[in-house]
Amino acid sequence: MGLFHFDLYSLPFRVIAFVIAFSLHEYAHALAAYSLGDRTAKNEGRLTINPLPHLDPFGLIMILFGPFGWAKPVPFNPNNFKGNKRLGIVYVAAAGPVINMILAFIFLLLFYMFQAPFMIEIMATWSDKVIEAIQLTIQYCVFINLGLMVFNLLPISPLDGSKIVRYITPHRWDRFFDKLDLYGPWLLLLIVLLPPFRSILVIPMEMTLKVLESIVRPIALQLFL
């Protein structure tokens, strides 16, 4: 199954994986902002793992029928942050991709667990359709969490990566980023909608998956096999 191979049969598994990924991604942003002293996200009902407050209709349509999707950005006010405001923005921006990396790790570990002898014995009484549904959901949870992480780390406005890069650099670079931000949405449309530009996502996703597998596989062998 390729990273960008979608079909109607996979639709429910992609939806489940996407809901888990974006709900916890946005919750992580809200929690990071709240822990730094900003209640904006909490006051707007975004400090929750409930997917409904985070749902972006067009982003959901894209994950259902297109190559990728997204959720509503979590609002925050850095003026409320304790300590260094610019560093606070970096922490909040990084929280989403970090939780997606953790989720990808967990679901990849689950993927290996379902290949363990004790799980094969347990699943012997299950129907093939149930087993396939579970395995496909886990696989999409790995891929979509990795996809959200890599996508959001691109240094293109309004993604998390642009905030991380912008606010770890000196103030004197702000004008440069202000100009660059004007082109961000157009660059994202090219990457998401045009297959030739999709390698910007696919290549780092494949590399990250290989690294993640090299970490998780030995752990899974110790735990399950």
Q: State the pLDDT confidence band at 66, using cuts at 50, 70 and 90.
A: low
Residue-level pLDDT at 61: 78
Residue-level pLDDT at 1: 39
Q: State the pLDDT confidence band at 5, using cuts at 50, 70 and 90.
A: low
Lookup result for tokens 């979590």: 74
pLDDT value at 179 more than 90: no
CA distance 165 to 173: 10
What does the domain layout of the chain look like in residue ranges? Answer: 11-224
The chain-wide mean pLDDT, for the chain, equals 89
pTM score, whole prediction: 0.90
pLDDT value at 72 more than 70: yes
Q: Taking a C-beta distance cutoff of 8 angstroms, is the pair 84, 93 a contact?
A: no
User: Which DSSP category does 158 fall into?
Assistant: T
Q: What one-character-per-residue DSSP string does 105-148 give? A: HHHHHHHHHTTSHHHHHHGGGS-HHHHHHHHHHHHHHHHHHHHH
Instruction: Report the percentage of the chain scoring pLDDT > 70.
Output: 94
User: Which DSSP category does 6 fall into?
Assistant: -
pLDDT value at 26 more than 90: yes
Give the burial class of 222: count Cβ atoms within 10 A of its Cβ; 0-12 exposed, 13-18 middle, 19 or more buried: exposed
Choose, from 26, 44, 132, 206, the residue flagged as catalytic: 26
Cα distance from N-terminal residue to C-terminal residue, the chain: 24
Q: What share of the chain is helix, strand, coil (3-state, %, to 5)?
A: 75, 0, 25
| Neighbour tally for 31: CB within 10 Å | 21
Q: Taking a C-beta distance cutoff of 8 angstroms, is the pair 155, 165 a contact?
A: yes
Q: State the pLDDT confidence band at 165, using cuts at 50, 70 and 90.
A: very high
Lookup result for tokens 């799980």: 119
42 residue type, one letter: K
State yes or no: is 132 an active-site residue.
Answer: no
pLDDT value at 70 more than 80: no
pLDDT value at 6 more than 60: no
Query: Among 103, 73, 95, which Cα is nearest to 28's?
Result: 95
pLDDT value at 139 more than 60: yes
